[in-house]
Amino acid sequence: MANVLPRKEAARALMNQVGDQLIVCGLGSPVSDVSSTKDRDLNFYLVGAMGSAAPIGLGLALAQPERAVVVVTGDAELMMNVGILATIGIKQPHNLSILVFDNERFGETGGQMSHTAHGIDIAALAAACRFTQTAVVRQARELTAALERTHALAGPYLAVIKVDPERVPISIPIKDGVLCKGRFRKALLGTY
Amino acid sequence: MTDRSGPIGSPDDWRDRVFDAFERAGVEVFCYLPDAGLDSFIRRANTGNADRAIMLTTEEEGVGVCCGSWLGGKRAVLMIQSSGVGNCINTFSLVTNCRFPFFVLVTMRGEFGEGNPWQIPMGSTTQEMLELTGFTVFRATDPEDAVAMVSEGLKMAWRSDAAVAVLLSQRLLGAKDM
């Protein structure tokens, strides 16, 4: 089996270098991965509306062109609305990066195999949709390079980070969407 | 297609006044999937700043894009046809759970004068579906209504953090001849 990264390790590496990036987390484990490592006001967490992480990232990136926006989501969450890759490809937001934590499973529903477990290549889909660079990450040093790239403002960029399929308990710091929206806007814009 | 309004682009065209209302309300981003009734709005959205018109592959993308835009401080609206409302239903939970200010302009199919039975199941339930998912809905059947409802609907969305839909009826737009 090809190498994969422990998802906790990937999350720690991501949040250790985060700086002032705006983060949008897709529902499920990515929320847990990111928030349990470093909860911060400039993280926006989805606990539903599956498929919306990348669309929110696009809207945010176009509204805040000076800021690096990072969407952290799962493979199945992205695949639910995969057409967004084409929409992003047209707009070419230079400040948008998508990091797909790809465990090749529907993690929240019992760990059923997902499309990527059957060879569907999300990085290739993104490349076909005119993302300026894509990567498939299986090693720690590749992860470091991918995370550096999210600061480059030379996107749209997408990295598939292959992570282990082990099921971990999910913890969600905020389920209240109004609160999550408000703290994000207050931190970014100074207003609710 | 029949049309009760003046020609597109003439100064008294109600469509121009609807679009003027968007601009007056500070809308900077227009997410859309086409419909014949949206054509003039799409054309105007595609003039000016290259980032202001966002063509979608499916309507639910636009829900996320509009909400993300507001997270970043910009006002965005969604412009779709009634069949696309059905595509958005689960994604509207983003709007209602986070109480995002949200405005959708819907051109109706599947009602007054419809010639395509495939449009009827969604078109005949669009208003109820929107109401069930938490929207305040205004339905315009004449040009003056359309201008007023869009103008006031935008105010309501952004002053009250409300989800507002304005439906442009087939009575207003004319049914596609098929």
Q: Which of B61, B96, B102 to mutate to test the interface with A (most CBs of A within 10 A)?
A: B61
pLDDT at B2: 43
| Cβ-contact A117, A111 below 8 angstroms | no
Q: Report CB contact under 8 Å: B76, A52.
A: no
Task: Kindly state whether A86 is in contact with chain B, defined as any CB-CB distance less than 8 angstroms.
Answer: yes
Q: Is the pLDDT of residue A10 over 90?
A: yes
pLDDT at A180: 97
Cα–Cα distance, A122 to B44 (Å, whole number) = 34
Report the pLDDT averaged over residues B36-48: 93
Q: Is the pLDDT of residue B53 over 70?
A: yes
pLDDT at A1: 55
Higher pLDDT, B12 or A176: A176
pLDDT at B45: 96
Task: Kindly state whether A180 is in contact with chain B, defined as any CB-CB distance less than 8 angstroms.
Answer: yes
pLDDT at A108: 87
pLDDT at B19: 96
Residue A42 lies in a domain: yes
CB contacts of A22 in chain B (<8 Å) are: 72
Residue A1 lies in a domain: no
Q: Is the pLDDT of residue B121 over 70?
A: yes
Which among A22, A63, A87 has the least Cβ separation from residue B61? A87
Which CATH number do you get for residue B98?
3.40.50.970
pLDDT tens digit string along B159-173? 999 999 999 999 999
State percent of chain B over pLDDT 70.
93
Residue B7 lies in a domain: no
Q: Is the pLDDT of residue B10 over 90?
A: no
CB contacts of A81 in chain B (<8 Å) are: 58, 60-61, 64
> Chain A closest CA to B178's CA: distance in Å?
30
Of A14-28, A70-84, B3-17, the range with the lowest mean pLDDT is: B3-17
Range of the domain at B70: 14-173
pLDDT at A87: 98
Q: Is the pLDDT of residue B23 over 50?
A: yes
CB contacts of B72 in chain A (<8 Å) are: 22, 59-64, 188-189
Range of the domain at A126: 7-189
Structural domain count, chain B: 1
Report the pLDDT averaged over residues B32-52: 92
Residues of chain A by 3-state class (helix, strand, coil), percent to 5: 45, 20, 40
Which CATH number do you get for residue A63?
3.40.50.970
The H or E element that residue B68 is part of is helix B59-71
Residue A172 lies in a domain: yes
Residue B4 lies in a domain: no
Cα–Cα distance, B61 to B31 (Å, whole number) = 9
> Chain B closest CA to A68's CA: distance in Å?
12
Residue A99 lies in a domain: yes
Q: How far is CA B177 from the centre of its chain?
A: 22
Q: Is the pLDDT of residue B3 over 80?
A: no
> Chain A closest CA to B172's CA: distance in Å?
31
pLDDT tens digit string along A66-103? 999 999 999 999 999 999 999 999 999 999 999 999 99
Cα A4 to Cα A10, A11, B120, distances in angstroms: 10, 13, 49
Residue A2 lies in a domain: no
Residue B2 lies in a domain: no
Q: Please tell me which residue of chain B has the smallest CA distance to A43.
A: B71
Report the pLDDT averaged over residues B118-134: 95
pLDDT at B61: 98
Structural domain count, chain A: 1
Residue A50 lies in a domain: yes
Please report the residues numbered 21 through 40 in chain A whose beta carbons come closer than 8 angstroms to any beta carbon of chain B: 22, 24
Q: Is the pLDDT of residue B38 over 90?
A: yes
Tally C-beta pairs within 8 A across A and B: 121
- What is the SS3 assignment for A51? coil
Residue A19 lies in a domain: yes
Which among A59, A87, A189 has the least Cβ separation from residue B69? A59
- The pTM score is 0.95
Residue B38 lies in a domain: yes
CB contacts of A23 in chain B (<8 Å) are: none
Report the pLDDT averaged over residues B134-156: 97
Residue B120 lies in a domain: yes
Q: Is the pLDDT of residue B12 over 70?
A: no
Q: How far apart are the first and last CA of chain B?
A: 9
Which among A44, A83, A185 has the least Cβ separation from residue B61? A83
pLDDT tens digit string along A98-149? 999 999 999 889 899 999 999 999 999 999 999 999 999 999 999 999 999 9
